[in-house]
Amino acid sequence: MRASLHRINAFDLALCVRCNRASRNHSIRAFFRIVSRLGNGLFWYSLMLALPVVYGLSAWVVVLQMVVAGIIGTAFYKWLKKTTLRPRPWQVYPDIVAGAAQLDQFSFPSGHTLHAVSFSLIVCAHYPELSLVLFPFALLVAISRPVLGLHYPSDVLAGAFIGALLAALVMGVFV
């Protein structure tokens, strides 16, 4: 069991180092900084404001689902971060360079990815035509985290998994 966990951790670290090497290219780092910054809220808040303008009053249900998912997601990932206390990759490994400022101290799970997945799933369940924009953007947000040295790939996978569960829960309760 311990050997398996060691191999998984080694793979996670190796993948993180490989992703982070891309950020040494100024253009790639600048691109993913922009994606990360937009994924920090600006993109999602703008979408929440735009949905009722484009789709009318019925879009307020979707906005409410996004707000509820945002509140629950933030509370849950902050609790998990304080519980697991996993340091960010750049804090532990000298081969990994932080390509952007961190929002909080700990790494597990990726809150950016959690919100990108939950919000994209909620919106696209109601407006599938937005999938061509939202799913690629959510994927770019997820990729930005290890590229910028702020998260391990396992943090991103955990954030995506939690985000998907959260979206299903919120949509199941707030129909």
> What confidence tens digit (pLDDT) does each residue in 12-68 have?
988 899 999 999 999 999 999 999 999 999 999 999 999 999 999 999 999 999 999
Q: What is the pTM of this model?
A: 0.92
> What confidence tens digit (pLDDT) does each residue in 129-172 have?
999 999 999 999 999 999 999 999 999 999 999 999 999 999 99
DSSP-derived secondary structure letter, 95: T
Length of the chain: 175
Q: Which domain holds residue 76?
A: 2-173
Count how many domains the chain has: 1
d(CA 74, CA 69): 8
> What confidence tens digit (pLDDT) does each residue in 79-112 have?
999 999 999 999 988 889 898 888 888 999 999 9
Q: What is the dihedral of CA 70, 72, 74, 77, to 10 degrees?
A: -130
Q: Which residue has the tokens 């290890």?
A: 146
